[in-house]
Amino acid sequence: YEMQRSLVGSEMCIRDRKRRLGDMDILLWHEILEPYELAVKELQVKFRHLIKEHHGKGLYSPIESVSGRVKSVSSILEKMQRKGIAPEEMEEQVEDIAGIRIICQFVEDIEKVADLIQKRSDIEIKSEKDYIRHMKDSGYRSYHLIVYYTVETMNGPKRIQVEIQIRTMAMDFWATIEHSLQYKYKANIPDHIRERLSAAAKAIIVLDNEMSSVRSEIMDAQNSSQMQRNLITDILNNIENLYKVTNKREVEKIQDEFYHIYAQNDLQELKRFHKELDLIAEGYRAQAITDEL
């Protein structure tokens, strides 16, 4: 609170977001942070939908998972104090009030995700920091984008900044551990731990490279299993729909055949069965329309 008071001097104001209370200006943090909370929620939904779209088409998704957070007030105040940012400049200068983290399986996916973001009409890239090509001294590796994103509020549209961090699972593992150590030791992580972290950062590079070398095999395996899941869902939907409109014995026979093919664990057979069932279902649909007419 003391820190906030010292930052929020009487001559410093964020227009429309402050109320005069005697001599003291109060920043309405809840009101300020609300659009950022909305942006984080919306962007998470949108990026998760991208994963769903890829999987729905039986495709490998360059995005493995998405998380987000709004920076805590104490963390914003700490950054403002550290960088000498005045309250009226907070929203422009503190670029990571809203943060989205996108986790990928492989280093190669990071560029693909950055391309996907660049092509979007609802996101405008302001700047980028490539801590993968230029690893930080700490050993930190990640790809950062500062973007503009517009949310709709009761007072109309509001364009805000969002930091998007894109990194592999391995990079994220390292950063999460290191971040918690930073929290524990503040700026003074003991040398022997620093050295270990540095060695671990190098091991992470080797691990990411090793995984990249078998990327196509891993992607093939994941594509096949996703395709198999989609086929099975489709087949079971078709069987369920047929059960409603046709002879139950016939459908039971079809179901038995499905179990038989499923047990063979042969993707090509499953595809063939899926196609045949589609034709049968299509026939019944056509028949139903004719009957209606």
Pick the stretch among 49-57, 134-142, 188-196, 283-291 that binds ligand 0O2 (CB under 6 A). Answer: 134-142
Q: Which of 7, 175, 231, 251 binds ligand 0O2 (CB under 6 A)?
A: 175
Q: Which of 19, 52, 126, 136 binds ligand 0O2 (CB under 6 A)?
A: 136
Would you give the binding string for ligand 0O2 spanning residues 27-56, x where CB under 6 A is met? ------------------------------
Would you give the binding string for ligand 0O2 spanning residues 62-91, x where CB under 6 A is met? ---------x---x---x------------
Residue among 157, 162, 135 nearest 36 (CA): 162
Just list the catalytic residues: 163
Residue among 78, 178, 166 nearest 116 (CA): 166
Residue 144 binding ligand 0O2, by CB under 6 A: yes
Q: Which of 179, 196, 248, 271 binds ligand 0O2 (CB under 6 A)?
A: 179
- What is the enclosing helix (H) or strand (E) of 69? strand 65-70
CB within 8 Å of 62: residues ≥ 6 apart: 54, 104, 109, 112, 113, 116
CB within 8 Å of 262: residues ≥ 6 apart: 232, 270
Using CB under 6 A, count the residues that bind ligand 0O2. Answer: 13
- What is the enclosing helix (H) or strand (E) of 157? strand 156-168
Distance (Å, whole) CA 256 – CA 261: 9
CB of 140 to ligand 0O2, least distance (A): 3
57 vs 184, which CB is nearer to ligand 0O2?
184
Burial label, 113 (beta-carbon count in 10 A; 0-12, 13-18, 19+): buried
183 vs 259, which CB is nearer to ligand 0O2?
183
Contact positions toward ligand 0O2, by CB under 6 A? Answer: 71, 75, 79, 96, 99, 129, 136, 138, 140, 144, 175, 178-179
